[in-house]
Amino acid sequence: MPYSIQQKLQSLSNPIKKELKLSILLFSLITTSILCYNVITPLQPTSLFNIDFLSKILPNNNLTPTKSSNKSCDYSYGKWVWDETQPERRYSENCPFLDPGFRCRQNGRQDLVYQKWQWLPEGCLLPRFNANDFLQRSRNGRIVFAGDSIGRNQWESLLCMLTQGVSNQSTIYEENGNPITKHKGFLSIKFHEYNLTVQYYRLPYLVASDRPPRNAPKEVRGVVRVDKLHWFSTNWVGADVLVFSTGHWWNQDKTIKSGHYFQEGQYINMTMDVMEAFKRSLNTVKLYIMQNLELKKSRVFFRSYSPVHYRDGEWNKGGHCNTSTEPETDKKRLEYEPQNNIYTYEVVKQMESAGIMVQFLNITYLTELRIDGHPSSNREPGTPVDAPQDCSHWCLPGVPDTWNELLYAGLLTTGFRMKPV
Ligand SMILES: *[C@@H]1O[C@H](CO)[C@@H](O)[C@H](O)[C@H]1NC(C)=O
Ligand SMILES: *[C@@H]1O[C@H](CO)[C@@H](O)[C@H](O)[C@H]1NC(C)=O
Ligand SMILES: *[C@@H]1O[C@H](CO)[C@@H](O)[C@H](O)[C@H]1NC(C)=O
Ligand SMILES: *[C@@H]1O[C@H](CO)[C@@H](O)[C@H](O)[C@H]1NC(C)=O
Ligand SMILES: *[C@@H]1O[C@H](CO)[C@@H](O)[C@H](O)[C@H]1NC(C)=O
Ligand SMILES: *[C@@H]1O[C@H](CO)[C@@H](O)[C@H](O)[C@H]1NC(C)=O
């Protein structure tokens, strides 16, 4: 297996000749690609050195991670390929940092093939996630996830992925002794051996939300303060990595239709629409970042919109996603690029030109294909049988693991805390 070649490589001691290392890596990567290719086209008789296939992939990009890791690569487009080695080479559902809602198998899901897909970007190889390397680079550091529950989904995925690089799991713990649950607004996991903390701050809108001010009109039941951040944000100063995650709460139902209006200064703007408010909020986050973060130190990521998959009805009108057990193949069923992404991308570009090390973590397309990856009816224990299906969060291990592979790749691109060799 090519993976074991790579593992062996990693364990090889330093003095090995660089050229040799590179050529073995190159070879193993090529065989990996061929294997993946063979797996997805099992009916075609394929020889190991399928020249046609190689010539399609090779000219496009550097296959050596040493080179591509330092070069920006677009991982957002590609396809899902079957990978028999998953999820064993990641983590299991027994990882202690998964909250009950994401443990789909324990919640009754029978088909487990959703765990067996690997994202294969077009024209670029995604560096293999290396928990040891990630931890080494993050030593004495702090990684912050701020955002909605999809962000918590990704945070838990990263915790479990990093746990793979630690031999004694008792040395990883929540700093305040809190259980991992969706009911907590703030959770901080310490990787003691590495003096690393990985934190989650629950902020569905990123900006602050509040009770209505005293003089507010009767229909106002709450406000989203588009020009004000939650006090949590004072804790983000000094973080090495920040991952912002928002999206699902920016809709009519959760805001205006349920009495949550947008406030600017002391003024509740009863006519401000959701997308305008979203834009202004992103701007608030942008100003915060430009004023507070250490430019040379902090890496900032904005995760793109994570698609939902309610078929035959809205989430609360009997919509479901339990009939798909594999990724979507019908491209006609894919949605257009959400407006959220356009706005987020714009703000990312503005920050970039101001010298911030910021990246747009564009997971929308790859995620859109994964209608099979949601908890659907396999929700956490205690959920009433007639409750709506969950077609917005993700089973773990599962799709957010790939987001974290992209996050890792993004960190490598900027030489994140590389040690001089
Ligand atoms: C995100 O990635 C998809 C797939 O490559 C692409 O179609 C889309 O334009 C990207 N969005 C942005 C804002 O870059
Ligand atoms: C742990 O990391 C923090 C920075 O996050 C640093 O201030 C502290 O000195 C480190 N502790 C040890 C024991 O290295
Ligand atoms: C694992 O870590 C815990 C907490 O630090 C410690 O009490 C225990 O002895 C360790 N176990 C092993 C096998 O090292
Ligand atoms: C309310 O928000 C809208 C944008 O949606 C804006 O055009 C308008 O000027 C705002 N009203 C006030 C009084 O600020
Ligand atoms: C999917 O969910 C619907 C509604 O809960 C249920 O009627 C149906 O039997 C389920 N189908 C499968 C394949 O599990
Ligand atoms: C590429 O990686 C090196 C470390 O190997 C780092 O110093 C450099 O800043 C990186 N280049 C870019 C453009 O981030």
b (16+ CB within 10 A) / e for 219-231: ebeebbbbebbbe
Q: Would you state the pLDDT for residue 38?
A: 39
The answer to whether the CB of 207 falls within 8 A of the CB of 154 is: no
Q: Would you state the pLDDT for residue 182?
A: 86
The string of DSSP letters for 168-206 reads -GGGEEETT-----TT-SEEEEEEGGGTEEEEEEE-TTS
318, amino acid identity = G
Ligand 4 geometric centre to CA of 414 (Å): 39
Q: What is the pLDDT along the chain (421 residues), one digit of tens a residue?
A: 333 433 333 333 343 444 445 555 555 555 454 444 434 433 333 333 333 333 233 333 333 344 444 467 899 999 999 998 877 778 999 999 999 999 999 999 999 899 999 999 998 899 999 999 999 999 999 999 999 999 999 999 999 999 999 999 999 999 999 998 888 899 999 999 999 999 999 999 999 999 999 989 999 999 999 999 999 999 999 999 999 999 999 999 999 999 999 999 999 999 999 999 999 999 999 999 999 988 778 999 999 999 999 999 888 888 999 999 999 988 888 888 999 999 999 999 999 999 999 999 999 999 999 999 999 999 999 999 889 999 999 999 999 999 999 999 999 998 887 553 3
Q: Which residue ranges make up each domain of the chain?
A: 1-60, 80-413
Tokens of 111: 């088909």
Q: Would you state the pLDDT for residue 414?
A: 87
Q: At residue 336, what are phi and psi to the nearest 5 degrees? A: -70, 160
Q: How many helices (H) and strands (E) does the chain have?
A: 10, 13
With a 6 A CB cut-off, is 139 part of the ligand 2 pocket?
Answer: no
Q: Would you state the pLDDT for residue 416?
A: 86
Q: Which ligand is nearest to the CA of 173?
A: 3
Look up tokens 């714009």; give the residue: 346
**What is the rounded CA–CA span in Å between residue 146 and residue 344?**
15
Q: Would you state the pLDDT for residue 71?
A: 60
The answer to whether the CB of 270 falls within 8 A of the CB of 217 is: yes
With a 6 A CB cut-off, is 193 part of the ligand 1 pocket?
Answer: no
The answer to whether the CB of 131 falls within 8 A of the CB of 156 is: no
Tokens of 119: 């994202």
Nearest protein Cα to ligand 1, atom 5: 77
pTM given for the model: 0.83
Q: Listing from the earlier edge strand, what are the strands of the sheet with 186-191?
A: 172-174, 186-191, 196-202, 142-147, 241-245, 299-303, 357-361
Q: At residue 262, what are phi and psi to the nearest 5 degrees? A: -100, 135
The answer to whether the CB of 338 falls within 8 A of the CB of 364 is: yes
H-type helices in 248-375, by residue range?
A: 274-292, 339-353, 364-368
Look up tokens 């294969």; give the residue: 120
Specify the DSSP class assigned to residue 211: P
Nearest protein Cα to ligand 5, atom 2: 322
The answer to whether the CB of 45 falls within 8 A of the CB of 16 is: no
Give the mutation target among 107, 377, 379, 383 for probing the ligand 5 site: most ligand atoms within 8 A of CB: 377
Nearest protein Cα to ligand 5, atom 14: 322
Q: How many CB atoms are located within 10 Å of the residue 82 CB?
A: 15
Q: Would you state the pLDDT for residue 326?
A: 92
Half-sphere exposure for 44 (CA within 13 Å, toward CB): 12
Instruction: Return the closest-CA partner of residue 369 out of 79, 29, 14.
Output: 79
b (16+ CB within 10 A) / e for 174-189: eeeeeebeeeeeebbb
Q: Which ligand is nearest to the CA of 374?
A: 5
Specify the DSSP class assigned to residue 160: H
Ligand 5 geometric centre to CA of 251 (Å): 27
Q: Would you state the pLDDT for residue 9?
A: 35
Q: Would you state the pLDDT for residue 331?
A: 85
Q: Would you state the pLDDT for residue 53?
A: 33
The answer to whether the CB of 411 falls within 8 A of the CB of 125 is: no
244, amino acid identity = F
**What is the rounded CA–CA span in Å between residue 54 and residue 381?**
48
With a 6 A CB cut-off, is 195 part of the ligand 2 pocket?
Answer: yes
Ligand 4 geometric centre to CA of 268 (Å): 10
Residue 268, helix vs strand vs coil: strand
**What is the rounded CA–CA span in Å between residue 187 and residue 279?**
27
